[in-house]
A and B are shown apart, each in its own frame.
Chain A
Amino acid sequence: MARPTESGAASARKGRDLRLDFFRGLALWFIFLDHIPANWLNEFTIGNLGFSDAAEIFVFISGFAAAAAYGSVMQRRGYVIAVARVLRRVWQLYVAQIVLFVMATAQIAYVAAKFKNPMFAEEMRIVDYFVEPQVTLLQALLLKYHPAELDILPLYIVLLLSFPVILWGIARRPLVTLAVSAAFYAAVHHFHWNLPGYPPDTVWYFNPLAWQFLFVTGAVCGFAGETVRKWLPGPRIMLPICVVYLVFALLVVKTWMVPQLDALMPNWLGEVLYPIDKTGLDFLRYLHFLALAYVTVHFVRAHTRFLRWRIANPLVVCGQHSLQVFCVGTFLSFAGHWILVQANAGKVMQLGVSFAGLALMTALAYVLAWYKVVESAPAAGATPKTAPKRGAAAE
C-alpha cells in the first residue's frame, strides 16, 4: 500500500540508531532531576543552557522513533497494522497518565492534610480542585485536568493519536507534510488555538496543536533523514549559524538568572524576544532545539564508539524503555522531593537522592530489557539489537 521512500528504507536497513536511545535516556534523566525542585543538580540540566529544554528532546525523539518504528511496521505489514500498533501505544500512555495522576493526587492530599501553614493558605488553594472529586476525576479522565508536572504525557497522547495521519503523509511526501505542519503551527499562533483545559477557561500548558510541529519535524527526520540532509545547506554554513545562535541563547538565559547582567539585555531586544512561550512552542525554542540537535548530530555520529561503551549503556537502556522509565521517574521525583523536604537536606543528600533515583530508573530499564530477552527467547533468541527483517517491504 505505502511506497517507502529510498531514505526511509535506507535508515531501516542500518538498524537501530543508538543516539536516539542515548539522548532519550538523557532527556528522561533531566526530566527526573528537573522535577525535584529542591535539588541543586537541576542547575546542570539542559533548560539552563538555552531556550529549549528536555521537553523538546523528548518530543522530537518521540516523533523520530515513532516514524522509524511504525514506518518499518508499515513497510513490512501494511498501514492498518501500523495504525493498530500506534493505537495500542496510545492506550498504554493513557493508562500511565491515569496512574501518575493518582500518585500526584495522593501527594497533594497528603501535603494538604499535614502542612497547614496559614502563611501559605493561598498556595494551598490548589487543593480546592479536589473538593468536588466527581468533577476533577472526570476532568482528569478526559485529559483536561493536568496537575503540575503531569502535562507532558497528555501532549504525547494527542501527538501519537494524530500519528496515523502524519505517517500517511511522510510516507508519500515528507517535505510537504512538514510544510503543512508548519502552516498549521503558524495558524495556531495567529488564531491562538489550544485545547480546553480544566478549570474552565484555561488551556493546555503544552499546546499539542503547536508542539505537533516539532513532533512532525522529528518524524520527517526519522523517516526521510537523507532527504532533509540534502535539502539543508552543508555543515560549513549550518554549523557556525547554529553555534552562534546557541551562544546567543545561553547569554540571554543567563540574564534571567543573574540580575546584574540585565543591563546587557537592551529593551528593544527583550521586546523582540519575549515572551519565549513554552505553551505554544515559541519559534525561538524550536530553533534552539534544532540548532542543538544539528550540532550534536554533527559531532556524535551514528556509530560513534562512545555509544557502545559500558558507561553509556545505562542511558541507552533507559531510552529504550522510555515510557516505563518516564513513569517511574515521575513517581521517584515525587518521592525524592518528599524525602529532601522532610529532611531539609543539604547538597550531599540531594546528590544522594538524585543518584539513587537515577539508579532505580536504570535498574528498572535493565529488568525490562531482561524480560524482553526472556520472553522472545523461544522466537529464535531475538534481541532488541536485531535489525528488522525487510523481506516484505520490497513489495
Chain B
Amino acid sequence: MSARHLVAIAALLHGATALAADAPAATDPCEIPAYFHYLTDELPHVRQAVTRGETLRVVVVGSASTAGAGVTTPAAAYPAQLALDLGKRLGSERVTVAAKAKPGQLAADMVKEFKTDVIPTKPKLVIWQTGTVDAIRGVDTDAFADTLIGGIDLLHRAGSDVILIDMQYNPYSSTMINLEAYRKQMTWVSQVRDVFLFRRYEIMQYWHDNQILDLGATDKAVQGRTADFVHACIGQLLTDAILSTPELANGAK
C-alpha cells in the first residue's frame, strides 16, 4: 500500500511533466501516454486463473461499439481482437472471449443480462462498455452511477473481475450529447470500487488530436480503416492492461 502511495505522490509531483511528455514512440501506432495504462486493481481472479494455468474466461458486455459498429469485418471488432491478442500471449486454448453486445442497451439493461447470461458462464473477467446510450436518453446521472455500482458489486460477488470502458470519442458528439457528466460518474465509480476504467474517450481523443487518425472523416474508406485501427488498438491495449502485473507477465511466458 505504501509503495502505491509513493508512486502516487511521485506522480503528483511530476504530474505536469507526465502530462506534457505525451509524444508517442514512433514504433507502435497504438502507443498512448503511460498514464492511461495505470491499473488500480490487480484483477485477482484473472491473476489466479493465469498463474494456475486455468482457462481465462472473458465476457465483453456492451452496446453498438462492442458489436463492432463501423469495422469492415466482424473479426476486426475489439472483442475479437482481444481474443486474438490474449491468445497470442497465453496460448489460444487457454482463453475464451464471449461478446454480448446489443446496440441501444442502457447500463440497466445490461445488469439484467449479467444475471441471466453472464454470471452463469462463470467468467474471470467481465469487460463492461457502457455510457453512450444512457447519455443520449438523458438517464439521471446519479441513477446511472447507482446502476454501475450495483452491476459491479453483482459481478464481484460472483467471483469476476471487472473493467469498465467509457464512450467513444468523435469531434461532433460532445457538442450534441452531454457525455462529460456520465464520464465523471464512471471515473468516480471506478475509484470507489477499485475497478480499472479503460479511458476509451480520452485515448481516442488523444489519437485524433495528435493526428494519428481522423475521427471526423466523411470518406467511407477512411471511416472503415479508422474503425479497424481503433478496434485493433483497443484489443491490444486491453490485453496489455489485463496482463500488466509482473506475475502475469511471468505466468504468460
Residues of chain A whose beta carbon lies under 8 Å from any beta carbon of chain B: 35, 37-38, 107-108, 111, 114-126, 147-149, 197, 199, 202-203, 205, 254-256, 258-265, 267, 270-271, 274-280, 334, 337, 340-342, 344
Contacts and interface: CB of A to CB of B under 8 A. Distances in A.
Binding site of B, secondary structure by majority: helix, strand, loop or mixed? helix
A126 B178 contact: no
B218 A114 contact: yes
Interface in B203-238: 208-209, 211, 214, 216-218, 223, 226-227, 230
A169 to B, nearest CB: 30
Given A202-B140, A274-B145, A279-B140, A259 B40 contact: yes
Nearest to B4: A263
The 4 residue pairs across chains A and B that have the minimum distance between CB atoms: A119-B70, A260-B11, A122-B64, A202-B138
A332 B103 CA distance: 34
B211 A264 contact: no
B30 to A, nearest CB: 17
Contacts of B223: 117-119
Given A119-B69, A344-B216, A270 B188 contact: yes
A270 B174 contact: no
B11 A258 contact: yes
Given A119-B226, A275-B141, A275-B185, A260 B8 contact: yes
Given A260-B11, A279-B141, A37 B69 contact: no
Given A262-B191, A341-B216, A344-B216, A121 B69 contact: yes
11 contacts: A37-B175, A107-B176, A116-B218, A119-B223, A120-B168, A126-B136, A202-B138, A205-B138, A256-B184, A267-B192, A278-B181
A258 B18 contact: yes
Contacts of A119: 65, 69-71, 168, 170, 223, 226-227, 230
A115 B171 CA distance: 11
> B176, B194, B218 — which one has the most chain A CB atoms within 10 A of its CB?
B176
A274 B176 CA distance: 26
A260 B8 CA distance: 6
Contacts of B171: 37-38, 337, 340-341, 344
A270 B192 contact: yes
Contacts of B9: 264
Contacts of B103: 121-122
A202 B137 contact: yes
Contacts of A262: 8, 38, 40, 191
Nearest to A108: B176
A185 B132 CA distance: 30
Contacts of A116: 218
Interface size of B as a range: 35 or more
Contacts of B142: 275, 277, 279-280
Contacts of A259: 35-36, 38, 40, 197, 199
Given A37-B175, A263-B4, 9 more contacts: A35-B175, A107-B175, A115-B216, A120-B173, A122-B63, A123-B136, A256-B187, A258-B12, A275-B185
A282 to B, nearest CB: 10
Nearest to B133: A122
B29 interface: no
A148 B178 contact: yes
Contacts of A340: 171
A197 B140 CA distance: 11
A199 B138 contact: yes
Contacts of B70: 117-121
Contact of B175 (A117, A118, A148, A279): A148
Contacts of A123: 132, 136, 167-168, 170, 172-173, 176-177
Contact of A275 (B64, B145, B226): B145
A274 B188 contact: yes
Contacts of A270: 188, 191-192
> A115, A275, A278 — which one has the most chain B CB atoms within 10 A of its CB?
A275
Nearest to B194: A267
A165 B208 CA distance: 50
A202 B139 contact: yes
B75 interface: no
B178 A274 contact: no
B35 A260 contact: yes
B15 interface: yes
A340 B175 CA distance: 13
B11 A261 contact: yes
A261 B12 contact: yes
Interface string B38-55: 101000000000000000
Contacts of A37: 171, 174-175
B84 to A, nearest CB: 20
Contacts of B193: 267
B19 interface: yes
Nearest to B187: A256
B12 A254 contact: yes
Given A114-B218, A261-B8, A120 B185 contact: no
B16 to A, nearest CB: 10
Nearest to A120: B170
A126 B132 CA distance: 10
B91 interface: no
A261 B15 CA distance: 9
A40 to B, nearest CB: 8
Interface in B99-136: 103-104, 132-133, 136
A264 B170 contact: no
Given A111-B172, A120-B70, A274-B191, A263 B216 contact: no
Contacts of A120: 69-70, 168, 170, 172-173
A122 B69 contact: yes
A70 B40 CA distance: 53
B5 interface: yes
